[in-house]
Structure 1
Amino acid sequence: MRDKADASIAAGEESLTLNPRRGAHRGELADQRALLSKLSPIVTQVVGMTRAAVDLYDPSLHEEPTVAAIAEQLRRAAHDVRLAVHLADVDPEPMTSAIPALTSPLVIAPPRSGNWILIGSITEDLRRIREELLDEE
């Protein structure tokens, strides 16, 4: 999807090259290009997290106390990504729905089982996503 979006923006920019009305649309395409640039590193991290989960999954993973905290952080990151692209549902009550949900980095204890590689990999990708989202603010 990221590659299709990039191709569509490039096609739009090329289409506007000789268009006399390009000024009206150039800003919109620039905004789309900037948004794509901000989201591309996050897409890369999510792909890495998915690949690590598929490659290193173990049925005992759900027993780790950190897994629930990681899931919560991922939910919060998804909310913040939706805010970045203005798709989040903003309810007037409470106004906190318009506030970024990632407030502090996740601090974890060492895993109790052999899942430390997967948990470490996902946690590092989550840290990178958090940094990218904080750069947007």
Structure 2
Amino acid sequence: MGYILSCLGNRAGNDDGEPGRDAVTVLKESGEYSEEHVRQLGEICSAFFSSDLMKRVKRLYCEVPFIIMREGQRVTGTIDRLLELDNELCAVIDYKSEAVGYAALVEEYRKLMEDLLRGGEELTGKIW
């Protein structure tokens, strides 16, 4: 579902050049189409885009690639959503939809978020 959310992308302020995609099309392309999924996705998107965080967004970018060095190794990745907020700071959103227990993901996700934040900081020069 994280990939599907990221494909829907656009709302006001999206500067990645992509207009966002229709939920039905994205769900069909991903093999996840059902009327129930369309309904659920509509609810999720409505809540997300009307959240306090999203109300503070000046610009947003979707699927932003980055390259950083970690422990002498080149690390590449993609930031699902990079937000420039009204206070000139930036935020990173990384969609997760795995049905795995939280404890199993903590260390892996912590490292991933460190990489995403560092990548976002190097791209924007903003303090997080």
Structure with the greater alpha carbon radius of gyration:
1
Higher relative contact order (CA 8 A, sep 6+): 1
Which TM bucket (shorter chain)? under 0.3
TM-score, normalised via structure 2 length? 0.28
TM-score, normalised via structure 1 length? 0.26
Structure having the higher helix fraction is 1
